[in-house]
Amino acid sequence: MAPTAAAAAAVVAALSDDLLREVFLLLPTAADLVRASLACKPFLRAARNAGFLRRFRRRHGPLLLGCLLHHADLPAPVFVPSSPAAAAAAARADGDFSLSFLPHGGWLGGGGGAPWRFLDCRNGRVLLKNRGTQELAVADPLAWSCVSLPPPPAARAVEANGSLYWTLEGGASVVALNTATNEFSVLELPPPLRQLSFDVVEKGEEEDGGGGGGPLYLLTMRGFCVEVWAGAGDGGAGELTWTRVEKSVRFHKAMAMLQHDSVEMYHHGLDVVGVVAGVLFLRHWNCLLSIDLETMKLRKLSDEDCSSASIYPYAMPWPPSFLNPAEHGA
C-alpha cells in the first residue's frame, strides 16, 4: 500500500463512528451523504445508523430526481429528470419507471388485467389504483417492488413535516393531524388564501425544532405570482400569525424569455404540480417548469408536451436501501 493510502486509512480508522456522523451531518445534501457513505466500509458503517439517519433527514430535504408524467395515450409513464445530476443519480439507481413489475400484467394490465392509474407519489413510492379490481398498490420504482394497501379516505390531504392537512368547507381553515401524536388541531388561514388553492411546503427541521414546532409554510399562485406564507404560533389551538415571505415573486419577464412568446404566454395559466425538496413544479400550457424556492431560479425541465399529462414529482426514498439498517441487520 502506498504511504499516502496507508496514512489515509490510518486516519479513517482513528475516527469513531460518532465523530464521522457529526461530520456527515454537515454535508450539504442527501446526495453528498450517499457519495460519502460509498467511499469506504467505515463510512458506510457509520452512516448505516437509524438515529443518525433520522437526524440527517430532519436537517436535509429529500433527494429530488424529477417528475413522473402519465399520458393517457402512452403505453407507460415517462420519467423527466429535474437536472443533469438527478438524471445521473436515477441512471445509477437502475429503477423501472415504466412500472412493468406491477401485478395483473404490469402498468397496462396485460394478460387479462386492467390498467392502473396514479393517485399520489411521495418518498420514492407511487400510490396506484387498479381500474378493474380497485386494488391499491404502493410501488417503489427503484426497488422494482410493490405492496398492497387498504383504500385511502375520500378527502384529499397534503402532508408535510409529519402532519396531514385537510381544507375545511368554506376554505377559512385547515385541520391538521400530527402523525406522531395522533392529535388534531384546526388552523385558521390568512384571508388572502381562503379563496385560493395552496400546497404545504415541507421545510427541513432543525434538531431542536423537530416534531412540528417550526412554522407552517403555504404556497399559492396568483396569476404569474408565487406567494409563500409562513404561519407561526405560540402553541395555542389554531392560533397562528401569518406573514408573507419576502421571496414571493412575480416572474412575467422570466416566463416570456423562457417561452420566447410573451403574447401566447398570457393565454394560459399556471398549474401548481407540487412542491418537493424546496422545488416548486409548475405546468404552463404544454411546458413543465421548476422554481427553486431558495434561489427563485426558474427552469424549463423538458420539451415534451405535458399539456394532458398527470405529473408527479419524484424523490429518492429515504433512507436508500443500502443505508437502511433494517435491511442490513445494523
Cell of 200: 404545504
Taking residues 90-106, what's their average pLDDT?
81
pLDDT (tens digit, 9 = 90+) per residue, 117-172? Answer: 888 888 889 988 888 777 889 999 988 989 987 665 555 677 777 788 888 777 78
pTM, entire model: 0.65
CA distances from 292 to 64, 83, 86, 316 (A): 12, 12, 14, 18
Asked whether residue 281 is assigned to any structural domain, the reply reads no
Do residues 1 and 13 touch, judged by C-beta distance below 8 A? no
Q: Is residue 42 part of a domain?
A: yes
Question: What local confidence, expressed as pLDDT, does residue 207 receive?
Answer: 44
Per-residue pLDDT reduced to its tens digit, 159-209: 777 788 888 777 788 888 888 888 888 888 887 777 667 777 765 544 444
Per DSSP bridges, beta strands 64-70 and 270-276 are unpaired
C-alpha 173/C-alpha 104 separation (Å) is: 41
Give the number of domains in the chain: 1
Among the residue ranges 7-11, 101-105, 167-171, 293-297, the one predicted with the least confidence is: 7-11
Total count of residues recorded for the chain? 330
Residue 328: CB partners within 8 Å, gap ≥ 6? 48, 322
User: Is 28 domain-assigned?
Assistant: yes
Residue 32 is part of which domain span?
3-47
Is 269 part of any domain? no
User: Where are the alpha helices (H) located in the chain, listed in sequence order?
Assistant: 3-14, 17-24, 30-37, 41-47, 50-59, 84-93, 252-259, 262-265, 325-328
- 8 A C-beta contact, residue 274 and residue 289: no
Grid cell digits, residue 112? 387479462
Q: How do 249-250 and 270-276 pair as beta strands? A: unpaired
**Roughly how many angstroms between the first and final C-alpha of the chain, as a whole number?**
30
DSSP per-residue string spanning 267-318: TS-EEEEEEETTEEEEEETTEEEEEETTT--EEEEESS--TT-EEEEEE--S
Provide the grid cell at 267. 393565454
Which has more confidence, 7 or 180? Answer: 180
Asked whether residue 25 is assigned to any structural domain, the reply reads yes
In a domain, 142, yes or no: no
Distance CA 130, CA 109 (A): 9
Tell me how far CA of residue 300 lies from CA of 73, 148, 229, 290, 292, in angstroms.
Answer: 23, 35, 25, 7, 12
Residue 313: closest CA among 118, 173, 74, 39: 118
Q: With pLDDT > 90 as the criterion, what percentage of the chain qualifies?
A: 7
Q: Return d(Cα 171, Cα 173) in angstroms, integer.
A: 6
pLDDT at 62 over 50: yes
Answer yes or no: is pLDDT of 114 > 70.
no
